[in-house]
Copies of this chain bind each other. A is one copy, B any other.
Amino acid sequence: MIQIAVLGYGTVGSGVVEVIETNKADINKKAAEDLSVKYILDLRDFPGDPYADKVVHDYNIILNDPEVTVICETMGGTKPAYDFTKQALLQGKSVCTSNKELVAAHGPELIRIARENHCNYLFEASVGGGIPIIRPLNYSLTAEKIDGITGILNGTTNYILTKMDKEGAGFEEVLKEAQDKGYAERNPEADVEGYDACRKIAILSSLMSGQNVRYEDIYTEGITKITAADFKYAKQMDKSIKLLAMSRDTEKGFFAMVAPFMISREHPLYSVNGVFNAVYVHGNMLGDSMYYGRGAGKLPTASAVVSDVVDCARHQGKTIMCFWDEENVNVADISNAERKFFVRVRADQREAVMAAFGSLAEVNVGIVKEFAFMTQVMSEKEFHEKIEQAGGCLNRIRIMA
């Protein structure tokens, strides 16, 4: 019998309890032991809830109970999740988490502490919700040198951009609708400014490199400046606009960034719509592979947490291998990264643009007061210099190669 404590009885925490209950027979078979939720830590009480008698308010009850060997941390945030996790690992209790903020901020330290105490710190649910991606990177693609990851890692922004694409609506309008439906939070900053995707690509990039990619070092740009007009141009070019989180291990350095990109219809990520997420991975032997599914939501995310619990049950007293050292990766400045750019300028800038860029491809959707074009491949630095020279722009969107 594996006795579990769930920290935080919110959306994901209650999902963990529900998944364990609903799929009891299958899960216990796969864990080769029965899983049982012994405690639920929450500040609140839940009178009438079938698990009301499991709820405790004092974390020490859990910490001091030697029967509890696995803890599901579904609180989110770094305080007090960091301290709680560390205390558990130091006592040899494994921790399975959906908390990307904590994993991105303290992952390698917590993984080391787990290793030193012969237990596990597992975080399948921290990226891509229910999509298996952490385990494929750690267990499956072990014969690959992975040199590129590109993900649609935030369901809220993908929902908004998909709506804007399909319905021609503006950002503010769709955001409001998403908030009303509960797909976006009242304070949407973490999603729409790309901070959430940034944490997630920091985690994936770290697993790709084996060292620590600090999320603070990742250039991050959100979707708030994307307009209905941008989608008109995208459609004209048979492209869509997606918030991509990517990292590339190249000869010129290790690049990582989050930004809206125009992406062609032929690319598998083009068809990843609505609240779905996908991670596109490039390895030197396998080439491209993709992992697709629900990137958020109560049960998908909880399912990933419980799969980590099953892994803990299968590896009691043993630490599962995970290569994520505490040494920081030297993330290269994106100014040297090269790509094409889609640019919109005022109509009266046409000559200045021609002078600055020389060769370009005009795109016309009948908006009379402006001039839009796609550049040749150039570095971010070069682009900035040229567009300054041409008098700035109304908007510019990077183009996915």
Mark A residues whose CB is within 8 Å of B. 19-20, 22-23, 26-27, 29-32, 124, 130-132, 135-136, 139-145, 210, 268, 270-271, 283-294, 299-300, 302-307, 309-311, 314, 321, 323
Please tell me if the beta carbons of A292 and B306 are within 8 angstroms of each other in the complex: no
Give bound CA distance, A79 to B14, whole Å. Answer: 52
Q: Contact: B141 with A307, CB < 8 Å?
A: yes
Q: Which of B26, B145, B291, B311 is close to A139, meaning CB atoms less than 8 Å apart?
A: B311
How near does chain B come to A262, taking the closest CB pair, in angstroms?
A: 17
- Min distance, Cβ A295 to any Cβ of chain B, angstroms: 10
Q: Are A22 and B284 in contact (CB under 8 A)?
A: yes
**A280 CB to nearest B CB, Å:** 9
B268 lies within 8 A of A292 (CB): yes
Give the contacting residue for A287; candidates B32, B139, B293; CB below 8 A.
B293
CA distance A286 to B286 in the complex (A): 26
Q: Bound complex: CA of A217 vs CA of B32, how far in Å?
A: 30
Distance of A130 Cα from B283 Cα, bound (Å): 10
Contacts of A283 in B (CB 8 A): 303
* 23 A-B pairs in the complex with CB atoms less than 8 angstroms apart: A19-B285, A23-B144, A23-B285, A26-B145, A27-B143, A32-B321, A130-B286, A132-B136, A132-B140, A132-B289, A142-B306, A142-B311, A143-B302, A143-B307, A144-B303, A268-B292, A271-B271, A285-B303, A286-B303, A286-B304, A287-B300, A289-B294, A290-B290
Complex-state Cα separation, A270 to B302, whole angstroms: 29
Contact B293 A289 (CB under 8 A): yes
Q: Known contacts being A139-B135, A290-B290, A321-B314, is A284 close to B23, with CB within 8 Å?
A: yes
Closest Cβ neighbor of A131 among chain B residues: B289
Contact B288 A294 (CB under 8 A): yes
In the assembled complex, the CB of A322 is this many whole angstroms from the nearest CB of chain B, namely 10
